[in-house]
Amino acid sequence: MRGRYPISRRILLGAIGGLPLVASRHAAAAPATSSGITDALVKAAQQEGSLTYYHVTSIDVTAAWTSAFSRRFGVRTKNVRGPGYPTWDKWLNESRVGLHICDAIQVTDPSLIGPADREGFVANYAPEAGPQILPDMKQDGVWYAIHANVMGLAWNTQKASAEDAQSILSQGWDALGDPRWKGRYGTTTPASGGSDYVFWYMFLVALNDRYGDPWLRRLAANKPDVFVSKPPMFDRLAAGEYAIIDQASQDGLASLYLKGAPVRWTFPDPVPCNLTAQCISANAPHPNAARLFQEWALSEEGMLEWFKTTSVVPSRADIADPRLAARQDWYGEDWYREPKTLYLDYLHEAAFADPAKPVIPRWNGIIGYQAGAER
């Protein structure tokens, strides 16, 4: 299957090279690259004083990351965090009625950006670091991936025995249907956002013959609690409310691990992967601050800042987490294993970009989920 790549952390970025570009009104000609972080841009951004950032990454980690930007340039950020699809819809609806609040926005489903771009809501801006972003982790002048994430399974070592942990490692994705986890399992709805949809799409569309509805029914029998956002689920796992969760992203769990939480994670094969894309609002109230932020976010300095609080896959081939080579933190733990096969095929498929998102009602029907019943 195209899009399932054998990987190691060293070649993970190279594996992404085959992704398609998202069509937009700018596709015919790439915009000119900016002059980067100039004194004039910094001064203009400082005069504006602040920017509003709609994001899907976890609150604490993002706050630490954007604080580094504010310390460097003296421009405050107002971070507004929410699930991916609802946050994107909020921004679109605000843009359509002329309520311009957001300056820069994240999304984990890049297929959404093209339609918004065609409506004129995305700024045409190519930051200086644009050429360093891997070719198909961007649409020049429209959006750029600030990083990628991989998703696996995680467990609480105080709620899961050594035998339980071994069963997770040996069963892989089938572990979620093991009756031992009934009433002890947390998950998130595919309606939450792009990363959540990527996760369930892999099992119910791309790997339907191997997993599909029978596999999902076994999961449903374990009566998982359903969240609309992953960070609260990660926190509940760390607190011991659950023994196991799915969609366990290293970027979300690493900060908890570093705080001493009893969490471990693994990446069964293949591993769903999502991009965290970022663009600028065409009607940003603080356009210079937004452009300065985009410049910094894609710079070496901005990307390395993530590694101080979490772990992500950079979208630049010249940047890597320094802890990997040093075998620091979880990289030095006996239980940790790098992902083997990266699933990216969805970015080639029109079915994934279908605005009806047919995986959602199918998942709802089998899980027995209704919106508003989540945790």
Residues 42-51 have pLDDT tens digits of: 999 999 999 9
Same domain, yes or no: 209 and 345 = yes
Q: Which domain holds residue 29?
A: 23-148+274-317
- State residue 257's pLDDT score: 93
Residue 14 placed within a domain: no
319 Cβ partners below 8 Å, 6+ apart? Answer: 300, 303, 304
Q: How far apart are CA 50 and CA 32, in angstroms?
A: 26
Residue 1 has pLDDT above 50, yes or no: no
- Indicate which CATH number applies to the domain containing 116: 3.40.190.10
Residue 33 has pLDDT above 80, yes or no: no
pLDDT in tens, 274-284: 999 999 999 99
Residue 8 placed within a domain: no
> CA 35, 37, 42 angle in degrees (round to 5)?
120
> What total number of domains does the chain contain?
2
- State residue 34's pLDDT score: 77
pLDDT in tens, 225-269: 999 999 999 999 999 999 999 999 988 898 899 899 999 999 999
Same domain, yes or no: 341 and 240 = yes
Residue 185 placed within a domain: yes
Same domain, yes or no: 257 and 346 = yes
Exposed e or buried b for every residue in 315-342, given b needs 16+ CB within 10 A? bbeebbbeebeeeebbeeeeebeebebb
- State residue 25's pLDDT score: 35
Same domain, yes or no: 227 and 347 = yes
Q: How far apart are CA 284 and CA 51, in angstroms?
A: 9
Residue 301 has pLDDT above 50, yes or no: yes
Q: At what angle do helices 359-367 and 212-220 cross, to 10 degrees?
A: 40
pLDDT in tens, 71-124: 999 999 999 999 889 999 999 999 999 999 999 999 999 999 999 999 999 999
- State residue 135's pLDDT score: 80
Same domain, yes or no: 233 and 352 = yes
Q: pTM, whole model, 2 decimals?
A: 0.80
Confidence of residue 9 (pLDDT cuts 50, 70, 90): very low
| Average pLDDT of every residue of the chain | 89
Here the tokens at position 304 are 């390395």
